[in-house]
Amino acid sequence: PKLEKKTKGKLQKQICQVVLEHFEKQYTAELGDAWSSVRDVLTSPWCWQHALLLNRFSWSPGLESSLAEQGYQPAFPAALPYLPAAFRCYSRPAPGRFPAQKHQPGRLKDYYLLNAASLLPVLALEVEHGEDVLDLCAAPGGKAVAILQCACPGHFHCNEYDDLRSRWLEQTIESFIPDPLINLIRVSKLDGRQIGDLQPEFYDKVLVDAPCSNDRSWLFSADPQQALLRLMQRKELSSLQFQLLRSAVKALRPGGSLVYSTCTLSKAENSDVINLVLNSCRNVMPVDISGMARGVSQEFSFLSGMQQHELLVLPERGRAWGPMYVAKLKKVS
C-alpha cells in the first residue's frame, strides 16, 4: 500500500469507502458483471484519459502536429454522417494530461480538454445551422462550446442556475467564441425548471445535461459525512431531473427534439427518469440513436441491452470514457 501511495499518490486522490460500498451494491445489481471492470477504471485515476476538442475559431499552427507527436489521433471516425467537417477532436489511449490553456482576456483558446464521452450528447442533438437551441444546464460550458463547433444556431440560449458557475460559463464562452458569433448567445441564470413556462415552444433543440450524482468525483469525496448525506439525498436528484425534462419539453416547438445526459451509471437518474417522461408526456416519442452508437463503437464501450433511444458509456481500460448516459426524445405535437 505504501508503494501505491508513492506512485499514485501524486494525484492526491483517496477513495471514499462509504461511496464505493454504496456503488458496489447498487451497480452490481444494475450492471452485473460489467461493474467490476468499470470499478477498476473509476478507482484508478492514474489510468483516466482525456480528449482535446479543437476550437474551429482559433487555429494554432503546429498544434495538430504536436498532438500527433505525442500519440494523439482523431477521436472519431471521419466518415460519420452526423459529424460536421469542422469538428476535430483528438485523444490517445495512454493516460496523461495535455496542458490546459490559461484564460487570457481578449485571446481565444485553441482547445477544450474533456472526457470524449461528453461529446456524444452534442452529436446526438444534431444541431443544424439556424436552429434555435437551449442548453438548459450549461456551466462550465464544454457542451456549449462543442455545439458551436458543429453548427451556427439562430439563437443560442445557455442557462445556468448557479451564480458562480454561471460566471465560469461566461468566461468559457468568451475564451472560445469570437465576435460576432458571441452576440447570438444569451446567458441566463434561471432555474431551468421555469424556462418551459417562460419560453414555451420556442426552441428546435434542447440539451438537458442534468445535475446528477457524478460517479467519478463522488468516489473521491474528501468528506465521508458529506458523501453519506449526498447519497441519502440522491432520490431528490431524480425528481429535479424529471422537472428539468418537463420544462425542456414545454420549451420545444412541436417537431423539436431534446437530448438528456448525465455522468452517472445510476438507473434511477437515467432510464427511470426518461421512462417517466415517456409515460407521462403524451406528446413525446423516443428517437433511435443506436446508429450513432454503432458508428462510434470502436471508441466507446456501451452497456448492452439498452433501448434504441438511449446509451450508457462504460469506462474500460484504454477507453476510459464515461460514465455517460444519453437519451433522445422528440416532441410530436
Q: Give least dist CB 141 to ligand SAM, A.
A: 5
Least separation in angstroms between CB 10 and ligand SAM: 26
Q: Work out the number of other CB atoms within 10 angstroms of the CB of residue 63.
A: 19
Tell me, yes or no, if 263 is annotated catalytic.
yes
Residue among 118 and 301 whose Cβ is closer to ligand SAM: 118
Cβ distance to ligand SAM smaller for residue 240 or 294: 240
189: three-class secondary structure by DSSP: coil
C-alpha span between 261 and 34 (Å, rounded): 20
d(CA 82, CA 61): 27
How many C-beta atoms surround the C-beta of residue 100 within 10 A? 12
CB of 168 to ligand SAM, least distance (A): 8
Beta carbon nearer to ligand SAM, 175 or 298: 175
CB of 191 to ligand SAM, least distance (A): 4
Handedness of CA 264, 122, 133, 256 (dihedral sign): negative
Nearest CB to ligand SAM, comparing residues 193 and 216: 193
Minimum Å gap between C-beta 161 and ligand SAM is 4
Point out the catalytic residue in the list 16, 212, 263, 281: 263
Q: Which helix (H) or strand (E) holds 67?
A: helix 63-69
* Of residues 61 and 257, the one with the C-beta less far from ligand SAM: 257
Amino acid in the structure at residue 170? E
Strands, sheet with 111-114, edge to edge from the N-terminal-most edge strand: 73-74, 89-91, 51-54, 111-114
Q: Are residues 117 and 300 in contact, defined by beta-carbon separation less than 8 angstroms?
A: yes
| Binding positions for ligand SAM, rule: CB under 6 A | 118, 137-143, 159-162, 165, 191-193, 209, 211
Report the b/e string of 245-254 with b at 16+ CB within 10 A: bbbbbbbbee
Angle between helices 224-232 and 17-31 (to 10 degrees): 30
Active site residues: 263
